[in-house]
């Protein structure tokens, strides 16, 4: 219940008052604690801890209705405050309302799964109701928390409450005293992974598994980090190790299936998903998330009808599962039923819908209303969804613009002249760059239909190299990348190029060339040319308003923070165009620009132009790209399985009245 150290005098006073109330509660002085909480609330400074303390005091004083009123206020002001839902569970249980008490406890552990009293209560309530799956999960969690030192329970709780700096500091302090404590290492790795510091997380988990090779949780976390680093060969091997040690464990089976899917072995993954689902009816791990994951695998292989059934199955299992509705919308070809629309609108409006689910449903509603021809209604949903996402992941437009200007300052024609002949000479890689939603998936599908080219993934490897060169920086500290490029040696450049080809090999088949279609790589063409001088680059370009609005209505799985604000979108597009003009000047003939509208207007001319640029002979299969059978994992997967898509060229125009900030930003 303690508060983090405040930063100003007013907050310090509030924290001191909360601590005094908590001291009264620990001493059993509930009447005094309630009175102090009431005074604090009457002063017009109602931190949610005060309402929580008031509710606890009222419960102990036997004032159930008053306690419930305080909890109602708390839920309105801090809906994700887990301890408030835990207290509601205790209160409702004391009032003999077992079913709503169970719901409250379940909501509490959704926000903070390090509350032992919550899990213990769920164990007992599940025993009373005969819910075997809930009891099994709750017992496992109780046993796990009991196995931890109190300090590590506090670490997990603080992290779940968003107090990650405090949690990380406590965890590091504990590890200094207990340097081989595997669970502490696992927790610290989770903090690194949550901030995208995957190399540290990988090292910590490797160390943990050295001490305890059979630690299942550490192994699963290690697989997850390898997956996020796109080390799919290693993640698949690690998942195989887990499965060999636990052949009958459905979690190990699912972990292996997920990595098989990441490695492009979708049929194997789908088979395992189906076997686990059939063999464990009603289990939590066969719930909505499994159906969603299975749907993604089916979609990637073109089995759309089965993917639709899987996505529908996911929301049937959890009615407010926003990602299931968005996944249906993200097929681009699906049309919602009237019942589905009503359910989605109810989810969007319900006060207890988790924010992530609300965002997904808002974007799905935007797509549904757009398909129905209601542009104003659609834009309203898109705008609400983007506003929430932008609040979660704000975009630092000025900083991004400055980083792109640094590329131009460092990567000059003279810079490249001095490093001529550096890097790995292999010509295997073809980079398709630009903004998302600019036609890159169509270009990839066309080129991957050629017998000499494999379509692969949007690899994160180039961005990861840039991040490592940039190093760890404090907020406000000047960037080291791209200036660090000037410090690399010829051997460094060659080794980085060879490593890139080696790490991406698992996603290739037998063709001599492969495509990396990560759009953000346009920011790193200097690095790419240094390490892979014979790689070719295609810049997928689209009419600015159409491209930017298409980004605005797309909910990305991760990254692309610029896309959730119209003004930021316009600024980012302008910066992109300026940087591409720079690459044209300093790396002439390195980049082929392909305009989406030109591909739509005259497919054959543009196909021949691209193949000439790549030095490859024309093949009819490139014109018949929609017949090519290969896995496609991007939002445009269903569109590129159809003949050329002309209908989307001017879709943005029906929203033109809402796009003033975008146009102004594009005009500069």
Give the pLDDT score at 590.
Answer: 96
Residue 7 has pLDDT above 60, yes or no: no
Segment 437-479, tens digit of pLDDT? 999 999 999 999 999 999 877 898 999 899 889 987 666 678 9
What are 69's two structure tokens?
Answer: 């009123």
Structural contact between residues 596 and 541, judged by C-beta atoms closer than 8 angstroms? yes
Residue 9 has pLDDT above 50, yes or no: no
3-state secondary structure of 600: helix
E-only strand ranges, 56-113: none
In sequence order, which residues have a C-beta less than 8 Å from that of residue 649 and are 6 or more positions away?
543, 546, 597, 600
Neighbour order of strands in the sheet with 591-595: 453-457, 513-516, 429-434, 536-541, 591-595
Give the pLDDT score at 314.
Answer: 97
> CA 85: distance to chain centroid?
26
In sequence order, which residues have a C-beta less than 8 Å from that of residue 582 and are 6 or more positions away?
407, 408, 411
Give the pLDDT score at 303.
Answer: 94
In sequence order, which residues have a C-beta less than 8 Å from that of residue 349 and are 6 or more positions away?
none
Give the pLDDT score at 198.
Answer: 86
Average pLDDT of the chain is 91
Residue 499 has pLDDT above 50, yes or no: yes
In sequence order, which residues have a C-beta less than 8 Å from that of residue 442 and are 6 or more positions away?
596, 599, 625, 636, 639, 640, 645
Mean pLDDT confidence for 195-208: 90
Q: What is the pTM of this model?
A: 0.83
Segment 228-237, tens digit of pLDDT? 988 898 999 9
Give the pLDDT score at 3.
Answer: 36
Segment 86-104, tens digit of pLDDT? 999 999 999 999 999 999 9
Give the pLDDT score at 634.
Answer: 55
Residue 45 has pLDDT above 80, yes or no: no
Residue 628 has pLDDT above 90, yes or no: no
When pLDDT is cut at 50, 70 and 90, the band that residue 493 belongs to is very high
When pLDDT is cut at 50, 70 and 90, the band that residue 632 belongs to is low
Segment 614-623, tens digit of pLDDT? 999 999 999 9
Total residue length of the chain = 668
Segment 109-158, tens digit of pLDDT? 999 999 999 999 999 999 999 998 899 999 999 999 999 999 999 999 99
Give the pLDDT score at 512.
Answer: 96
């Amino acid at each position: 219940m303690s508060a983090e150290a405040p930063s100003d005098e007013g907050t310090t006073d509030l924290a001191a008052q909360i601590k005094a109330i908590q001291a009264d509660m620990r001493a059993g002085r509930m009447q005094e604690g309630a009175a102090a909480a009431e005074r604090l609330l009457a002063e017009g400074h109602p931190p949610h801890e005060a309402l929580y303390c008031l509710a606890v005091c009222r419960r102990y004083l036997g004032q159930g209705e008053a306690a419930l009123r305080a909890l109602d206020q708390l839920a309105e002001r801090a809906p994700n405050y887990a301890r408030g839902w835990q207290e509601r569970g205790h209160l409702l249980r004391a009032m003999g309302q077992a079913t709503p008490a169970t719901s409250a406890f379940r909501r509490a552990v959704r926000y903070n799964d390090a509350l032992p009293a919550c899990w213990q209560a769920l164990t007992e309530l599940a025993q009373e109701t005969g819910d075997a799956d809930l009891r099994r999960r709750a017992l496992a969690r109780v046993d796990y928390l009991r196995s931890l030192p109190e300090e590590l329970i506090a670490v997990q709780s603080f992290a779940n409450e968003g107090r990650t700096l405090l949690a990380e500091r406590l965890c590091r302090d504990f590890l200094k005293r207990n340097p081989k404590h595997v669970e502490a290492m696992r927790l610290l790795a989770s903090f690194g992974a949550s901030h995208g510091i995957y190399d540290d997380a990988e090292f910590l988990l490797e160390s943990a598994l050295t001490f305890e090779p059979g630690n299942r949780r550490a192994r699963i976390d290690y697989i997850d980090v390898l997956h996020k680093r796109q080390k799919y060969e290693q993640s698949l091997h690690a998942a195989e190790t887990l499965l060999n040690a636990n052949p009958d464990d459905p979690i190990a089976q699912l972990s292996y299936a997920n990595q098989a899917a990441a490695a492009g072995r979708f049929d194997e993954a789908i088979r395992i998903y189906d076997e686990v689902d059939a063999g464990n009816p009603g289990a939590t791990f066969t719930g909505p998330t499994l159906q969603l994951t299975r749907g993604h695998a089916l979609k990637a292989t073109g089995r759309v009808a089965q993917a639709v059934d899987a996505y529908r199955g996911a929301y049937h299992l959890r009615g407010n599962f926003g990602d299931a509705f968005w996944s249906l919308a993200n097929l681009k070809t699906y049309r919602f039923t009237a019942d589905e629309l009503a359910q989605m609108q109810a989810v969007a409006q319900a006060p207890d819908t988790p924010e992530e689910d609300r965002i997904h449903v808002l974007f799905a509603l935007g797509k549904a209303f757009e398909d129905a021809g209601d542009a104003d209604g659609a834009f309203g949903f898109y705008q609400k969804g983007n506003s929430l996402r932008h609040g979660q992941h704000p975009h630092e437009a000025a900083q991004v613009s400055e980083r792109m200007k640094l590329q131009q300052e460092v990567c000059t024609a003279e810079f490249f002249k001095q490093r001529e002949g550096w890097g790995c000479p292999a010509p295997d890689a073809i980079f398709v760059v630009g903004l998302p939603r600019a036609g890159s998936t169509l270009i990839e599908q066309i080129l991957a239909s050629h017998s000499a080219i494999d379509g692969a993934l949007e690899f994160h490897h180039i961005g990861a190299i840039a991040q490592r060169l940039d190093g760890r920086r404090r907020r406000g500290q000047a960037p080291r990348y791209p200036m660090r490029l000037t410090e690399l040696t010829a051997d460094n450049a060659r080794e980085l190029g060879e490593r890139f080809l080696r790490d991406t090999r698992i996603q290739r088949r037998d063709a001599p060339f492969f495509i990396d279609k990560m759009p953000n790589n346009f920011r790193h063409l200097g690095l790419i040319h240094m390490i892979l001088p014979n790689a070719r680059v295609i810049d997928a370009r689209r009419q600015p308003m159409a491209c930017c609005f298409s980004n605005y209505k797309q909910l990305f799985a991760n990254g692309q923070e610029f896309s959730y604000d119209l003004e930021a979108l316009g600024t980012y597009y302008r910066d992109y165009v300026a940087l591409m003009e720079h690459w044209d000047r300093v790396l002439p003939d390195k980049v082929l620009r392909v305009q989406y509208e030109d591909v739509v207007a005259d497919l054959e001319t543009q196909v021949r132009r691209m193949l000439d640029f790549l030095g490859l002979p024309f093949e009819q299969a490139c014109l018949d790209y929609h017949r090519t059978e290969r896995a496609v994992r991007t939002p445009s997967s269903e569109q590129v399985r159809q003949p050329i898509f002309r209908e989307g060229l001017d879709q943005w125009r029906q929203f033109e009245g809402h796009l003033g900030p975008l146009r102004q930003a594009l005009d500069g």
